[in-house]
Structure formats: C-alpha cells, structure tokens
Amino acid sequence: MEYTIKHVSERLRLPISTLRYYDREGLMPLLKRTETGTRKYSETDISWLELVCCLKNTGMPIEEIKEFMVLCLTGSTTSEQRKELLEQHKANILGQMEMLNRSLEMINYKLKNYNKIGIFHIDTY
Amino acid sequence: MEYTIKHVSERLRLPISTLRYYDREGLMPLLKRTETGTRKYSETDISWLELVCCLKNTGMPIEEIKEFMVLCLTGSTTSEQRKELLEQHKANILGQMEMLNRSLEMINYKLKNYNKIGIFHIDTY
DNA sequence: CCTTGACCTGAAGTTAAGTTTAGCCTTTAT
DNA sequence: ATAAAGGCTAAACTTAACTTCAGGTCAAGG
C-alpha cells in the first residue's frame, strides 16, 4: 500500500512542508514518485520517518540523521558504524535524562520554598 | 563579594557573549555596574543565572524566563502566577521525560535487532 | 608614557529547522 | 468543460539563541 503526502502528514502529525523539507534534505533518498512527480510513501518509508522523528525529538540534528541514512544506503559493511552511531545517541539520551532529573530537582526545591512562604521575591529570585 | 563577567563565565561555563546577551535581553535587570560600566555579579545574580540555565536547558524560551523575572520584579502579589509558571514548566519537563523514555525504548529495540543479525539494512531501515 | 588585557556597545552575521510564497501542473467532482 | 482540491518546485522568509565584528574606554604594569 502506498500513501499520499497528506495521508502521511496526518498519520505522523508532521506538516506537509516538513515532509517535503526532509525529502529535500536527503532524508528520503528511496522515496518513490508517480510519473507526474507525486510522492508515494510506502509503509517502510513511514517506519523510517517514525525513527526520524524519534531521533529528531531526542535532539539528533537532521545532518546526523542523514549520515545514518547514507550509511544504510551504503550497505551491510557499515552496520558496525550504524550501531555505534545509535549507541552514541543512546548515551546522549541518557545524559539528557540525567539533566532533566537534576533540573526537576531544582524546580521542586524552588516550588517547595514557594509553598512554604511567599519566598522567591527579588532577594532570592 | 562581587565578580567580573569573566569569573562568572568560567564558573558557570557560559561564554561571556552569552552573559552579555542575557543581560541585553532583560534577564538581569538588577545587575549592578561600576561607575565606568563594568558589570558586577553578586552571589544572588549567580544563583539566578543557575536557575536561568536550568530553565533554559529544559527548553524554556528566553522570552518566558524573562516573563518570570518580570513577575519577580513586580513583587509578592505575583507569587501565585510565578508558582503556576513553574508548575507548568515542571509538567513540561515530565512530558519530555516520557518522550525520552519512549524514544529510548525504540532505540533499544533497534539496537537489539542490530545485535541479533545484520538487520537494519535498507529494506527495514 | 604607552601598551596590554579586560571591559564596553551597537550592529551585523550565523545556524538549524522549518515555513511561506508564487507560480505552475494534475486529478476529481459537478 | 471547468473549478476545486491536492500535488510540485525554487527561492525567499522566519525565529531563537547566540556569536562576531568594529571601534572605543579604562586600569595596571614595565
């Protein structure tokens, strides 16, 4: 089954302009077209886009996602590199989680003071 | 005790240009200066900057951090609003954590397949 | 005295990730 | 047959958060 850009846009909640942008940037090098140039997304394309979103949402730049795609295109000789890239990104995500935890702690601390008294005026920020 | 911009830059690992930028954007309305215009950071200023970093690192836009500061300046009548703002942001952070967890799950799944066989070639991305 | 290093400003430049615009071509429903 | 809906492109525009630049002031050391 193949899907129009509008369908994919609704299913993944990505603006059409973003889908075209990703294609333009080389993230979808295998995307098929009709004879007249209309994009035809396959289930495989959609799965890939889901991974793209996951990587993007966790802070991987488009450029790096593209590198990953290029490695995929290059074939099975690059599988070690691709795994390494994902492991790196995983470490990155774990780092982000730590950071969020530390920040949450700080905010909870501020909120605690806030609830006690009307602290948090200008002297203490 | 008061500190130079260079000192604060090193202590908080923020470029000097960023510290000046935050000041320019109205994040440091109480920052003192020497007669000749050199910035003098107090411990209180540094604590505030630490909170700024925490909010910024967790995705709060500068504009909103400024709003928070303006509420602080306005006085104790705004304490409910400030608390609300922090609660909102806390919810935001919890949302980010969930997202990171979901993403991590997906990446772990991909890595698992990766370790099994040389999957993740172009058919499945 | 004068040079060096740290500070200042306003303005322009940068980067990522889209979005918008303008103009043009199909396909579909009336 | 014609108008609406949806697709396309290239190119310009946008936004946030900085950074860089050009040019100027000031305090301390040799």
Confidence class for position B90, pLDDT limits 50, 70, 90: very high
In this prediction, residue A20 carries a pLDDT of: 98
Nucleotide nearest to B61 (CA to C1'): D16
Half-sphere exposure of B121 (CA within 13 A, CB side): 8
Ordered structural domains, chain A, with CATH: 2-116 (1.10.1660.10)
pLDDT digits (tens, 9 = 90+) for B70-87: 999 988 888 889 999 999
Q: What is the pLDDT of residue B76?
A: 82
Contact call for A107 and B93, based on CB within 8 A? yes
User: Strands B2-3, B39-42: parallel, antiparallel or unpaired by DSSP?
Assistant: antiparallel
Of B67, B89, B88, nearest to B78 (Cα)?
A: B67
Q: Hey, are the CB atoms on A79 and B121 less than 8 Å from each other?
A: yes
Looking at residue B123, what is its pLDDT?
52
Q: Starting from the edge strand earliest in sequence, which strands make up the sheet with A2-3, in order?
A: A2-3, A39-42, A32-33
Q: Which residues pair with A106 in a beta bridge?
A: none
B35 touches strand C (CB under 7 A): no
pLDDT in tens, A68-116: 999 999 888 888 899 999 999 999 999 999 999 999 999 999 998 887 7
pLDDT tens digits, B97-125: 999 999 999 999 999 988 775 544 455 55
- Structure tokens, B64: 């909103």
Q: How far apart are CA A36 and CA A38, in angstroms?
A: 6
